[in-house]
Amino acid sequence: MSLFLFVSAVALVPFVEAQAATENSTDFVMCRNGKTVRTLRIKVADDNGSCKALYSKGGKDQVVGYGRQARSCKPFIDNVQNNLENANWRCQSLANMKITVPDNGATDESSSAEEPEESLSEDDGEWDE
C-alpha cells in the first residue's frame, strides 16, 4: 500500500507544478493590423491571486475586467481577442508567458531564477536528477 501512495504522490507532482505555473503565469496575446500592435494580458496580484484583464492600445493599458482568480480573467481577454480578429486583426497567443520584474534594488545575480534540482524530461517522461 505504501508503494501505491508513493507512486500516486509522484504522479501528482507534475500536475501540481503545472497548476502552480499556470496560476503564476500570464496569458499574453499580441494582435497586429498592419504596423499597429495591441496587446492583451492578465495581471495577477501576488497577495491574493485576484486578476485584472488588461488591453493595451496606443501604449496605454486599459482594464477590461477583474476576477478573483487568474483563470476568471481569461474570458475578458478571449472576448477582446475575438472582437479584434472579427475586425481583421491577426492575433497570436503566447499563453503562459511568465513576466518577471526584478526588485528595484536587485542585481542581475540576485534576481535570476535558480534551476530546479529535478525536472521531468519531455523525451522519456522520466525524472532527471
Instruction: Report phi then psi at 43, rounded to 5.
Output: -110, 125
φ, ψ of residue 127 to 5 degrees: the values are: -75, 130
**For the segment 14-72, what is each residue's pLDDT rounded down to a tens digit?**
333 333 334 445 689 999 999 999 999 999 998 899 999 999 999 899 999 999 998 89
- Is the model more confident about 99 or about 126? 99
pTM over 0.85: no
Cα gap 80→69, rounded to integer Å:
19
One-letter amino acid for residue 92 of the chain: Q
Say what the pLDDT of residue 83 is: 97
